[in-house]
Amino acid sequence: MGDTKKTHVRYLILLMLFLVTTINYADRATISIAGSSMQKDLGIDAVTLGYIFSAFGWAYVIGQIPGGWLLDRFGSKRVYAAGIFIWSLFTLLQGFVGMMPVAWAIVTLFVLRFMVGFAEAPSFPGNARIVAAWFPTAERGTASAIFNSAQYFATALFAPLMGWIVYAHGWEHVFVVMGVLGIIFAGVWMKTIYNPKEHPRISVAEVEYIANNGGLVDMDQSRKGDGGPKWHYIGQLLRNRMMLGVYLGQYCINAITYFFLTWFPVYLVQERGMTILKAGFIASLPAIMGFVGGVLGGIISDWLLRRGHSLTLARKLPIVCGLLLSTSMVLCNYVSAEWMVVGFMTLAFFGKGLGALGWAVVSDTSPKQIAGLSGGLFNTFGNIASITTPIVIGYIISATGSFKWALVYVGANALVAIFSYLFIVGRIQRVVLKDEGGIAVNDQVSPSTASA
């Protein structure tokens, strides 16, 4: 660790979080790009496809709290690397289900999607832990927004590529290409990610800057040699009104996310009559603006914080304004011109990106002792939407024969999220844990973080 000048290694760490999250979301989206062609080849209906879409979500939710515990017990680097390798392997294997009889192919596809979800479970709690360790409080909103905006970048970059692969070579090849890419990246991760105090390229000046301004630089070191986080802390989070409001808000925000990750390309093909190749390119346009909105939300939030506004205002204002914009997708029900549909969806995705600051809030509120568990619990509630949204939309389409009420359902979730942040969450502040005797646990955070 060099001493002479202040380095900026944390930006390299943020780049790695952005890249791994891009791969993460691209692997989730493979099934949506392949979905329409897969329906034809395997002869499955909308409800069955909805359940296949949801397979990821069941496992992802189940794996959140165990994944968070593993992160707190063994550290972000190793647990995350194992997750990248495993989810990429199961993505790769999905490319071979077409060789099976149809009934077996459907079951196998569900199981493989389930395993991808389970392996990806530690990823976002891991992101939140790494951001909390590597970034000062006043940079955390932007850092969280950048890694979270990778979900839009993934669609913008990979939707056209995957659409072309399906069009030119068949849906199976999408899974093979993305699986191989992820396996390679797992090795890159192991060579690049370290704890702040252990990184070979970081200076003492940067470590001190991070630590003195709210970064939890010794997070993983403090976990070594103990038995991991105490499970009774979860009850304290579940009794905290602020956290419950954040959990509800994230569930509703993720309902919007999973519409775009699952049914949106199918909507473009089946409701709007586009080819899968065109749908792949069209799907990238809202994603590009979602990426812009996602980064902008974090920048605005941190700018408000630096201007002296409270952490509560700085986080809530972009969330509420962004989610109001995201309700514009409902207007697609009242227009027929293709460019207007794309325009409203683009505006909705921009708004959803602007308001997606939930992970910054998690980094702001999670107790140091259970940063991984806290992120896992947040992601558990949020990703129940990854189960319910594909299934509910599948039933709506099956019952009505169109996507109109599906868009209303997704837009209504944005309104519920706004209500939650305005009337349930209250003041945003770091949760102080208490031991079994009711005494506040020591070694919480530095003063600069506590006052944020």
Q: Please, what is the angle between helix 123-134 and helix 137-169, to 10°?
A: 150
* Least-confidence region, from 231-240, 293-302, 309-318: 231-240
3-class DSSP state of 253: helix
| 147-163 pLDDT per residue, tens | 888 877 887 787 777 77
Predicted local distance difference test score (pLDDT) of residue 446: 34
Is the backbone of residue 86 left (phi > 0), alpha (psi -120 to 50) or beta? Answer: alpha
Q: Considering the domain boundaries, does residue 113 fall inside one?
A: yes
Vertex 173, ends 169 and 176: CA angle to 5°?
160
* pLDDT band with cut points at 50, 70 and 90 for residue 251: very high
Residues 273-297: what's their mean pLDDT?
78
Q: Please, what is the angle between helix 311-326 and helix 404-423, to 10°?
A: 160
Model-level pTM? 0.72
Which residue range is the domain that position 339 belongs to?
9-215+227-450
Please report, for residues 50, 179, 278, 324, 389, the alpha-carbon distance to residue 170 in angstroms, rounded to integers and kept in the order given: 21, 16, 15, 39, 27
Q: Considering the domain boundaries, does residue 3 fall inside one?
A: no
| 126 pLDDT above the threshold of 70 | yes
- HEC string of 84-109 equals HHHHHHHHHHHHHHHHCCHHHHHHHH
Q: Considering the domain boundaries, does residue 222 fall inside one?
A: no
Nearest to 304 by CA among 320, 327, 280, 328: 320
User: Residue 429 — φ and ψ, nearest 5°?
Assistant: -155, 160
Q: Which amino acid is at 73?
A: R
Q: Which amino acid is at 392?
A: V
Is the backbone of residue 438 left (phi > 0), alpha (psi -120 to 50) or beta? Answer: left
Please report, for residues 45, 92, 156, 264, 377, the alpha-carbon distance to residue 286 in angstroms, rounded to integers and kept in the order given: 27, 27, 8, 11, 29
C-alpha 441/C-alpha 433 separation (Å) is 6
H helix or E strand, kind and range, residue 24? helix 9-42
Q: Considering the domain boundaries, does residue 405 fall inside one?
A: yes
Q: Which residue has the higher pLDDT, 402 or 350?
A: 350
- Residue with tokens 């992101």, as numbered in its chain: 127
Tokens of 257: 């996310």
User: Residue 418 — φ and ψ, nearest 5°?
Assistant: -60, -45
Residues 172-182: what's their mean pLDDT?
85
Predicted local distance difference test score (pLDDT) of residue 18: 93
Residues 215-228: what's their mean pLDDT?
59
Q: Considering the domain boundaries, does residue 1 fall inside one?
A: no
* Least-confidence region, from 130-139, 149-158, 288-297: 149-158
Q: Considering the domain boundaries, does residue 202 fall inside one?
A: yes
Residues 193-213: what's their mean pLDDT?
82
3-class DSSP state of 130: helix
| 407-423 pLDDT per residue, tens | 999 999 999 999 999 99
The string of DSSP codes covering 310-355 is -HHHHHHHHHHHHHHHHGGGGGGGG---HHHHHHHHHHHHHHHHHT
Residues 136-151: what's their mean pLDDT?
83
Average predicted confidence (pLDDT) for the chain? 82
C-alpha 208/C-alpha 10 separation (Å) is 13
Predicted local distance difference test score (pLDDT) of residue 198: 80
| 309-327 pLDDT per residue, tens | 999 999 999 999 999 999 9
H helix or E strand, kind and range, residue 128? helix 123-134
Is the Cβ–Cβ distance between 3 and 204 less than 8 Å?
Answer: yes
| 448 pLDDT above the threshold of 60 | no
* pLDDT band with cut points at 50, 70 and 90 for residue 183: very high
Total domains in the chain come to 1
Is the Cβ–Cβ distance between 386 and 56 less than 8 Å?
Answer: yes
Tokens of 404: 């109109």
Residues 15-32: what's their mean pLDDT?
84
C-alpha 341/C-alpha 336 separation (Å) is 7
At 93, which CATH number?
A: 1.20.1250.20
Is the Cβ–Cβ distance between 166 and 40 less than 8 Å?
Answer: no
**How many helices (DSSP H) and strands (DSSP E) are in the chain?**
20, 0
Tokens of 413: 């979730």
* pLDDT band with cut points at 50, 70 and 90 for residue 232: confident
| 436 pLDDT above the threshold of 80 | no
3-class DSSP state of 203: strand
Is the Cβ–Cβ distance between 304 and 317 less than 8 Å?
Answer: yes
Q: Which amino acid is at 325?
A: L
Predicted local distance difference test score (pLDDT) of residue 444: 41
Q: Considering the domain boundaries, does residue 221 fall inside one?
A: no
Other C-beta atoms lying within 10 Å of the C-beta of residue 336: 8
C-alpha 229/C-alpha 428 separation (Å) is 23
| 426 pLDDT above the threshold of 80 | yes
Q: Which residues contact 15 (CB under 8 A, 6 or more apart)?
A: none
Q: Considering the domain boundaries, does residue 348 fall inside one?
A: yes
